[in-house]
Amino acid sequence: MVQRTRADAEGDLTAELHARGLPQRPLVGESPAVDLLNTRWIGGGERYDLLEDEGLTAVWLGGWGLPVEAPPSEVQRHLRDARDALAAVIADPAARDGVNALLAHGRIRLSLDDGGPAEHHDVADPARRPAFACLREYLRLAASSPARVRKCGNPDCVLHFHDTSRTGERRWCSMAACGNRFKARRHRSRTASAGGAD
């Protein structure tokens, strides 16, 4: 069997978005946790949310190897709850209750299988399994690099990223989309407050 890559999966999603006349996602995550946060975005002043479309949600989940084993509307609802809980704890690290309430719906069970060490998610409600898997991935990221999953520094942007830079000082979803725009705005306001002297 040919191994499908993340790029293949993202290509499927791009095709589905295109078929619906929707724009491409501006930022694609390297982890399902970050990618869950980026299932909503703003383009041309419009807000988009792929978790509002059952077909898009299924393609998105398939891309991360997360099957839909329950009514899609329930899976979507739990994913949206998980997204909100993650965004809240990233905005304020003390706001952990939402994430913990959702994690309480499952348990991690470890075993040694044919393929080596394995981790199983015991989640009684199948509709909650994809959301649980995304939250588990967030905990994995947070364990190895706390505070490196962040929201874009542009207050008008809803995207998040995992900062894998050496210095850990990344501020923007992308320099082109938000960094340069923000710097230009700051420069304009400085120039204006200096009375246009420079």
Which residues contact Zn ion by CB under 5 A? 152, 154, 157, 159, 173, 178
Instruction: Using the minimum distance from each CB to Zn ion, give the nearer residue, 57 or 154.
Output: 154
Shortest gap between Cβ of 178 and Zn ion (angstroms)?
3
Instruction: Using the minimum distance from each CB to Zn ion, give the nearer residue, 73 or 164.
Output: 164
CA distance 113 to 71: 30
Instruction: Using the minimum distance from each CB to Zn ion, give the nearer residue, 42 or 141.
Output: 42
Shortest gap between Cβ of 148 and Zn ion (angstroms)?
16
CA distance 147 to 30: 16
Shortest gap between Cβ of 42 and Zn ion (angstroms)?
9
Shortest gap between Cβ of 55 and Zn ion (angstroms)?
27
Instruction: Using the minimum distance from each CB to Zn ion, give the nearer residue, 80 or 160.
Output: 160
Instruction: Using the minimum distance from each CB to Zn ion, give the nearer residue, 102 or 159.
Output: 159
Cβ proximity of 41 and 158 under 8 Å: yes
Shortest gap between Cβ of 176 and Zn ion (angstroms)?
10
